[in-house]
Every structure is written in structure tokens, then in C-alpha cells.
Amino acid sequence: MELGKYKAFISTLIVDEVTCILLKQKASELLNEDRHYKIVNQLKENKNLFLKCYEIAQKHIDYILALEQKGVLSIINQMPDLNLFSSTMNQYWLFPRNATHLSIMLSYNIPHIITTDKDFLRVDQIKVHSCDSAMFIK
């Protein structure tokens, strides 16, 4: 993708998810803590910790924006139609976040997803690729 061989799409929802994970992972590392609630509480209460963790999150956001500027990544900034969201959630018994991802994909006719989430394997309308096999998408 970085070389322009493939065109990729990402939603702002994915950027949100990854950014949150990066914040929590960095905080976990700095605090030497693995309990989720303690990590989140510290991020909310300790501005210095948050700012240290934000550095890695900002690098992620900058990378996404650079790929968009290069023209190899399109950022989808809208949420799906609620009827489609509801039907995908019900039909494929997906949690809301995954139903949102799938609904966006269906709305934009995006047939492939790169994910580690096995819930998408239940969806016959898309092709699921692990991160390792992503280079083989055509």
C-alpha cells in the first residue's frame, strides 16, 4: 500500500480504536500495570502520563494522514445508515463496533478486511485477511 500498489480505506472509527489501544499500551508499559481499569484511571487523572502516551498516538495519526496525502489511503468520515447497522448486527451477530465496520464496508462496496477479529469470518459478503496474508489481496 505504501508503494501505491494497493488502495486502502480506513474509517475514523478504526483510527479511534487504534489510538485508544496505543494510549493504553504505552500507559501499561510506563506504569508497569496490566489491569485495564487502573490504566484508564491513570490516563484520566495524570496529565503528564497522558501526554507521554499521546506522543505514540500522534505518530499513528500523522502516519494515517501522510498515507492519505500520498493518495494510497482514503479516510471514511461517516457512520453507517442505522438500518444497515441494525441488520448487519442482527444477521451476523456482531457487537456494535464490528457491525459499524461491516456496515461501512458494505456501504462503500469494500470487499476485503484485514483484521485479527474472527467474528468477521461469519460474514459471507466479504473476504477476511489476517495481517500476515494482507500482502496477497488483489
In the predicted structure, residue 6 carries a pLDDT above the cut 80: no
The confidence score (pLDDT) of residue 132 equals 64
The confidence score (pLDDT) of residue 103 equals 96
For the chain, the domains span 8-76, 82-136
The confidence score (pLDDT) of residue 134 equals 47
Number of Cα atoms under 13 Å in the Cβ half of residue 123 = 27
**pLDDT tens digit string along 121-138?**
999 999 999 876 544 444
Q: If pLDDT is split at 50, 70 and 90, which confidence band does 79 have? A: confident
The confidence score (pLDDT) of residue 15 equals 93
